Chains A and B, each alone.
Chain A
Amino acid sequence: MALDLQDMADFLKQTPPFDALDNARFDYALDHAEAVYVNQHNREEILREGHPTLYVVRSGTYDLTDKHGKFIERLETGDVFGFPALLSGRTITNQIEVLADGILFCWDAATFAYLRRYSEPFERYFMQAQERRLLVEHRGEDSTPDWTERDIGSVISRPLISIGSDTSIQQAAISMSENKVSSLLVVDEGHLRGIITDRDIRNRVVAKGMDYGVAVTAVMTQMPEAVYTRQSLFDALTMMNQANIHHLPVLDDEERPVGMITTTDLMKQQRSEPVFLMNALFKAQSREALVEEAQNIPHYLRTFATRVKDIGMVGRLLASLTDGMTRKLIRLYEHEHGAAPVAYAWMAFGSQAREDQTLSSDQDNGLLLADGVKEGQREYFHKLAEFVCTGLADCGIRLCPGDVMAMNPKWNKTSLEWQQQIKKWVQSPTPDAIMHSMIFFDSRMIAGNQQLYRRHREAIGKIAQRDIFLGNIGRHIGELNVPLGLFNRLRTKSEKGGDYIDIKTQGVAVINDIVRLYSLIEGLTMPATPARLQALQSHKLLTAKDNQNLLEAWQFLTQLRLSHQLRLQGDSTEPVNSIDPETLSTLQRRQLKAAFSVIKDAQQGVGFKVGRGL
Chain B
Amino acid sequence: MSEVVIKVENLKKHFPINEAIPFKKSTQSVKAVDGVSFEVFKGETLGIVGESGCGKSTMARLINQLIRPTEGVVEFKGKNLATLGSKEIRSIRKSIQMVFQNPYASLDPRKTIEYLIAEPLVIHQIGDAKSRKKRVIELLEVVGLSGYHAERYVHEFSGGQRQRINIARALALNPDIIICDEPVSALDVSVQAQVINLLKDLQRKFDLTYIFISHDLNVVRYICDRIAVMYLGKIVEIGTYEELYENPKHPYTKALLSAIPKENPFDKKERILLEGDVPSPVNPPSGCSFHKRCPHAMEHCKKDIPAFVDLGKTQKVACHLYS
A binds B: no
